[in-house]
Each structure stands twice: as C-alpha cells, then as structure tokens.
Amino acid sequence: MIEPATKPAARIAATRADITDLLAVLQRMDEPLAAVEVGPAPVPEGYVRIRALATLVDRDRLNHIVHRGDVYDFAEDAANDFIKRKAAEPVGA
C-alpha cells in the first residue's frame, strides 16, 4: 500500500506519463503520412482488362453493366469478342 504522503506524488507521476504518451500520439498524428504509390490491381488469371467503347454487359457476373469509358476485367473469351467487334480496347500490356 502506498503511504498517504506519497499518494499525490504517485498521481502526479502517473499524470505526467499519461500526458507524455498523449503528446507522443499527437505528434505522430501531426506528421504527414508517407505517400504510397499503388498501381492498378492485378488482372485475375483468365481475364483481360479492357476499356469499354460502348455499353457492355458482363453475363458472367450477373449481367453487370459496364459503361463507355469504364475499365473492367472481362473473361478472356468475352473480352476478345468485344475487342474484335470494336466495342472495347485492351488496357495495358
């Protein structure tokens, strides 16, 4: 048990430690985050990333509608069909 005469000193020390921890947290919050450059997500195996030149429908994914200008990953056979019909263009290498 702490003696009555040292209780205030112990409280002051604990409060100083809490304040020091709080200041450290605030200083970390004030520092700007490092910029993270992340490229596009990888294309799943068996898919081709295309840019739609017309409105397209992905029948493999519950008739998801892809609008003109959108970049989307289609199954390889469907993507090649859209590219062949000039409804889409491949994106990337």
pLDDT attached to residue 93: 55
For residue 4, what pLDDT band results from cuts at 50, 70 and 90? low
Tens digits of residue pLDDT in 13-69 = 778 888 888 888 888 877 777 777 788 889 999 999 999 999 999 888 888 899 999
Residue 64: HSE in the Cβ half-sphere, 13 Å Cα cutoff = 11
**What pLDDT is attached to residue 27?**
82
Give the pair of three-digit tokens for residue 47.
């898919």
CA angle 7, 20, 16 (to 5 degrees): 15
Identify whether the C-beta of residue 70 lies closer than 8 Å to the C-beta of residue 34.
no
Task: Reply yes or no on whether the pLDDT at 6 is more than 70.
Answer: no
